[in-house]
C-alpha cells in the first residue's frame, strides 16, 4: 500500500512476530502481528496500533503490513490487529477488541520493549473509525478482565478516510444495509445508537491529536466526514491536521503527489509526536 515513503533500515523477518493471541472471547482467538525496528531503543520503542478497514465486516490484519514496515523504518514498533467481524459479531465487538489490543500491549510493554505511556493508532476506513474511537474514548467494556488496569486510549491518531459522523452524508441504502449487518439494527440517523457509533460525538479537550487524510472524490465515505471532524476538533481546540487529496476516491493512491506528501507527513507526525512525548 505504501512504499518508498521514508529512507530507513530494511525490516528483517526476525523483527516480526505473527499471530499473537491478544484476547480470547467466547472461544474466539483474536490475534495481532507485531513489528519492531531492526535497531531497538534500549529505553523502549514508541508504539502504534494499526487497524485494517473493510466495513467492519471484512479485511484482515495483513492488509496493513506495509504500514507496519514503514513505521519500523522510522524507529516505531507497531502491531496490526484482527478484530471480530460483523455480521457474526455485532458492534461494539470490534471496538472492544481493538481497545483490548491497546491494553494488551501496554500491559506487556516490557516483553515487547515498548515505551507505551503514550501510543498512536492508524487506521483506514472502518479502521480509521475505530482508531478515532481509540483516541477519543477509554474502555467501553468495563466488565472485561483483559488487562483491566490499563488504559485503552491512544494519544495520536492517523485517520485514513474513516467515517466520523454516521448521522449525516451517507447514502441511506448503503447505511441501512451496513447498519443491519454491523449493529443488527435499522438505520436511524438520529438514534442514540447512531450517535454512539460516531467518533465525532466523543470529541473533547482530552481527545487525541489527529492527522486526517481523505480523498475529495470519495463516494463511499464522503469527504464531508473529514470536514465535520475538522470543525469539531477546532471547536474543542484539539491539535489536528486535515489533508484533502484532489482526485482521490476511497483508496490510498500513491500516483497522486499530494497523497504521497500527505502520507510522508502523517508518518512524520507520528514519529515526531511520540518522540516529543518522551517515547524515543
pLDDT digit string, tens, across residues 223-241: 999 999 999 999 999 999 9
Asked if 138 and 152 count as a contact pair (C-beta separation under 8 A), the reply is yes
Q: 160-219, pLDDT tens digit by residue? A: 999 999 999 999 999 999 999 999 999 999 999 999 999 999 999 999 999 999 999 999
Q: How far is 255 from 126, CA to CA, in rounded Å?
A: 23
274 — alpha (psi -120 to 50), left (phi > 0) or beta?
A: alpha
Q: How far is 33 from 82, CA to CA, in rounded Å?
A: 9
Sign of CA dihedral 176, 51, 280, 20: positive
Helix (H, G, I), strand (E, B) or coil at 171: coil
Give the global pTM.
0.94
Asked if 105 and 49 count as a contact pair (C-beta separation under 8 A), the reply is yes
Q: 63-106, pLDDT tens digit by residue? A: 999 999 999 999 999 999 999 999 999 999 999 999 999 999 99
Q: Check residue 8 and give its pLDDT.
A: 37
Sign of CA dihedral 108, 35, 248, 92: negative
Asked if 245 and 256 count as a contact pair (C-beta separation under 8 A), the reply is yes
Asked if 218 and 174 count as a contact pair (C-beta separation under 8 A), the reply is no
Q: 29-71, pLDDT tens digit by residue? A: 999 999 999 999 999 999 999 999 999 999 999 999 999 999 9
Nearest of 243, 239, 238 to residue 227 by alpha carbon: 243
Mean pLDDT (the chain, rounded): 93
Q: Check residue 64 and give its pLDDT.
A: 97
Domains located in the chain, CATH noted? 22-276 (3.40.50.1820)
Question: Nearest 5°: phi and psi at 16?
Answer: -120, 130
C-alpha cell at 87: 455480521
Residue 37 to residues 71, 118, 148, 278, Cα–Cα distance (Å)? 8, 18, 28, 17
Nearest of 161, 59, 150 to residue 106 by alpha carbon: 150
Report the DSSP pairing between strands 77-81 and 47-51.
parallel
Q: How far is 106 from 118, CA to CA, in rounded Å?
A: 9
Question: Nearest 5°: phi and psi at 189?
Answer: -60, -25
Amino acid at each position: 500500500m505504501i512504499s518508498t515513503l521514508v529512507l530507513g533500515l530494511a525490516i528483517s523477518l526476525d523483527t516480526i512476530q505473527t499471530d499473537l493471541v491478544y484476547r480470547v472471547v467466547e472461544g474466539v482467538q483474536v490475534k495481532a502481528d507485531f513489528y519492531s525496528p531492526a535497531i531497538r531503543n534500549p529505553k523502549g520503542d514508541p508504539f502504534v496500533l494499526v487497524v485494517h478497514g473493510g466495513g467492519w465486516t471484512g479485511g484482515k490484519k495483513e492488509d496493513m503490513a506495509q504500514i507496519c514496515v514503514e513505521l519500523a523504518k522510522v524507529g516505531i514498533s507497531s502491531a496490526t490487529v484482527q478484530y471480530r467481524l460483523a455480521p457474526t459479531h455485532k458492534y461494539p465487538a470490534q471496538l472492544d477488541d481493538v481497545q483490548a489490543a491497546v491494553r494488551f500491549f501496554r500491559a506487556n510493554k516490557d516483553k515487547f520493549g515498548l515505551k507505551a505511556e503514550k501510543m498512536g493508532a492508524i487506521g483506514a476506513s472502518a479502521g480509521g473509525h475505530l482508531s478515532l474511537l481509540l483516541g477519543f474514548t477509554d474502555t467501553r467494556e468495563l466488565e472485561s478482565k483483559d488487562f483491566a488496569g490499563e488504559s485503552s486510549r491512544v494519544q495520536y491518531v492517523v485517520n485514513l478516510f474513516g467515517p466520523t459522523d454516521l448521522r449525516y452524508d451517507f447514502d441511506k441504502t448503503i447505511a441501512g444495509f451496513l447498519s443491519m449487518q454491523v449493529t443488527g439494527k435499522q438505520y436511524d440517523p438520529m438514534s442514540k445508537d447512531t450517535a454512539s457509533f460516531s467518533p465525532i460525538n466523543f470529541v473533547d479537550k482530552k481527545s487525541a491529536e489527529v492527522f486526517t487524510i481523505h480523498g475529495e472524490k470519495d463516494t463511499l465515505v464522503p469527504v464531508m466526514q473529514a470536514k465535520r471532524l475538522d470543525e469539531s476538533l477546532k471547536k474543542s481546540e484539539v491539535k489536528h491536521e486535515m489533508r484533502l487529496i484532489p482526485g482521490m476516491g476511497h483508496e490510498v493512491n500513491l500516483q497522486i503527489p499530494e497523497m504521497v506528501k500527505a502520507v510522508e507527513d502523517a508518518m512524520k507526525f507520528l514519529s515526531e509526536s511520540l518522540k516529543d512525548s518522551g517515547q524515543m
